Amino acid sequence: MAVLQIKDNVFSVGVIDWDRRLFDELIPLPHGTSYNSYLIKGSEKTALIDTVYTPKLEELVLNLKEKLQIERLDYIVANHAEPDHSGSLPAILQMYPEARVLTNAKCKELLQAHLQILDDKFITVDNSTEISLGNRTLKFMISPWVHWPDTMFTHLPEDKILFTCDFMGSHMATSDLYSVNEGAVYEAAKRYYAEIMMPFRPQVKKYTEQVKNMALNGEIDLIAPSHGPLHNRPAFIIDAYTDWASDTPKPEVVIPYVTMYESTGKMVNHLVDKLMEKGIKVTPFNLIETDLGELAVALVDAAVIVLGTSMVLAGPHPVAVYAAAITNALKPKAKYLSVIGSYGWATQLGEKMDEPIKALMPALRAEMLSPVFVKGLPGEEAFKKLDNLANEIYSKLI
Ligand code: FEO
């Protein structure tokens, strides 16, 4: 990735990963990603904010050593210990043995566990620490649980930049340094929020408020995350985060489902039609075809989740079980939950498929609406029950 100047003597030196298509062996990356790293040259000292994913070390080294000709690095700020940002830290410390790692106590512990960095390489910081680079200062905001317990933000007050690492970032490979295409960045940032930040909504709300106050007080005019474009209009991402993390869901229904012989599919289609006729926004996700990230995005706003499942052996289809486990982990703010589906032969268990699904979702504090199950193909009686479920959903939402 090119070295790009952000402000006088502040550079973007990270790497774009155009080709990566999966993160954590779980999260699809339809638009690639980037590992942003920033170099700050003060009048006396030089600091690097975060490093990059280990396979991209060579590009970071090229940016520092050849393009910017950095011979001495005094500090490396580690805002977060996850290896997509810290993986290259040991190699950079070897290249610049005089450098000290600035990080909080929790992040230090995790960096030592993951990368076996020696104790004397660290300077531990907290909210009151100020590190002078000469004509510039580094300040720190310890901000745990967005999304690890170690996370923090770094503030460069003279330049009004807040380096937020994962927070307010997006998995997006683009040559745009800034969020110039706000529509595209909004979609990517919402997906990132859904996949990474949503389980930590109380913390997200708290830090979004803090960042908002900093922007309103004129302390920052640039938010520089460690994935995706930088936000030179902070209100754009602050407003988006405020909306996504709010407690109030929107009157929307999400139906993740799996169907083996189309019976559950017919039930889903019927329910979708009935909800549409009532003017309710509804999105079905065929779990065999869908991108999990798109489902996660839909869960950000939805008030109702209806899980559709066929039966395999004596319980819900394993794909539905997987979706329930993922949904539980993401902790969406949905207020209502239901389960519908078709079973083949095990009537007693088939009529209770909601119970194992509900047991998989203890983190959802959702009210259970009437489940609907049918043996084999849905007929008039099953469709009537689905109509009743649609009415129940309508009465809850409107
Ligand atoms: Fe981008 Fe939590 O690392």
Domains of the chain (ranges; CATH) run: 4-244 (3.60.15.10), 250-397 (3.40.50.360)
What would the DSSP string read from start to end of 48-82?
Answer: EE----GGGHHHHHIIIIIIS------EEE-S--S
Estimate the share of the chain in helix, then strand, then coil, as percent rounded to the nearest 5. 40, 25, 35
Cα separation, 140 vs 223, whole angstroms: 14
**Chain mean pLDDT for the chain:** 97
Question: Is 150 close to ligand 1, i.e. is its CB under 6 Å away?
Answer: no
Q: How far is the CA of 157 from the centre of ligand 1 (A)?
A: 24
Residue minimizing CA distance to atom 1 of ligand 1: 166
Query: Scanning the structure block, which residue is given the tokens 């268990």?
Result: 349
Q: What is the mean pLDDT of residues 27-40?
A: 96
Residue minimizing CA distance to atom 3 of ligand 1: 82
Q: How far is the CA of 284 from the centre of ligand 1 (A)?
A: 30
* Geometric angle at alpha carbon 55, from 167 and 41, rounded to 5°: 60
CB 142 within 8 A of CB 126: yes
Q: How far is the CA of 24 from the centre of ligand 1 (A)?
A: 10
Q: What percent of the chain has pLDDT over 70?
A: 100
Question: Is 191 close to ligand 1, i.e. is its CB under 6 Å away?
Answer: no
Q: How far is the CA of 25 from the centre of ligand 1 (A)?
A: 14
pLDDT band at 216 (very low <50, low <70, confident <90, very high): very high
Residue type, 157: P
Cα separation, 270 vs 263, whole angstroms: 11
Question: Is 82 close to ligand 1, i.e. is its CB under 6 Å away?
Answer: yes
Q: How far is the CA of 84 from the centre of ligand 1 (A)?
A: 6
DSSP 167: T
Residue 99: HSE in the Cβ half-sphere, 13 Å Cα cutoff:
26
Q: What is the mean pLDDT of residues 87-111?
A: 98
Q: How far is the CA of 32 from the centre of ligand 1 (A)?
A: 14
Closest atom of ligand 1 to 169 CA is 1
Question: Is 20 close to ligand 1, i.e. is its CB under 6 Å away?
Answer: no
Q: Does the predicted TM-score (pTM) go above 0.75?
A: yes
pLDDT band at 144 (very low <50, low <70, confident <90, very high): very high
DSSP 287: T
Residue minimizing CA distance to atom 2 of ligand 1: 82
* pLDDT value at residue 11: 98
Question: Is 85 close to ligand 1, i.e. is its CB under 6 Å away?
Answer: yes
Q: What is the mean pLDDT of residues 310-323?
A: 95
Cα separation, 153 vs 166, whole angstroms: 10
Instruction: Tell which residue, 301, 369, 359, 311, has the closest CA to residue 338.
Output: 369
pLDDT band at 314 (very low <50, low <70, confident <90, very high): confident
pLDDT band at 1 (very low <50, low <70, confident <90, very high): confident
Query: Scanning the structure block, which residue is given the tokens 């106590």?
Result: 105
Residue 222, both tokens? 């640039």
CB 100 within 8 A of CB 72: no
Q: How far is the CA of 81 from the centre of ligand 1 (A)?
A: 8
Question: Is 84 close to ligand 1, i.e. is its CB under 6 Å away?
Answer: yes
